[in-house]
Amino acid sequence: MLKWSLIAIGGAFGSLMRYSLQGWVQGLTVSVFPWGTFAVNLTACLAIGFLSGMFGGSMLIREEYRIGLTVGVLGGYSTFSTFGLETFNLAKDKEFALAGMNLLFSCGVGTLAVWAGYRLAEHWYGV
């Protein structure tokens, strides 16, 4: 039960962090480029890389707290960091084709799925 509670609390905290940082960074720019989202994704990737390296080394932490931080806080903050870590781990394990496939499928097919979902809503609701 502790693990689920830490995920939920961490997720709420991560979502608030994402909303705050994204809005603040985007407000600093006059560009239509999503710099706020880029900043969130970049900091999330840096954080999950740091935590992964720290927890993979001599730093011992209970599983509940590790999951609360990674799945909860960082999951609420940005799932892009998990995508980055999984792609990095594939490349680190010399699974370069799978790393490339993950990049292509997640970005390419993900964008196509957004397009399809939008078109479906447009068809059903006249967006």
Q: How far is residue 7's CA from residue 12's CA, in Å, rounded to a whole number?
A: 9
pLDDT at 41: 94
- Supply the pTM of this predicted model: 0.81
- pLDDT band at residue 54 using 50, 70 and 90 as cut-offs: confident
Domains in the chain: boundaries: 2-79, 94-127
The reported pLDDT for the residue numbered 127 is 65
Least confident segment among 38-42, 72-76, 79-83? 79-83
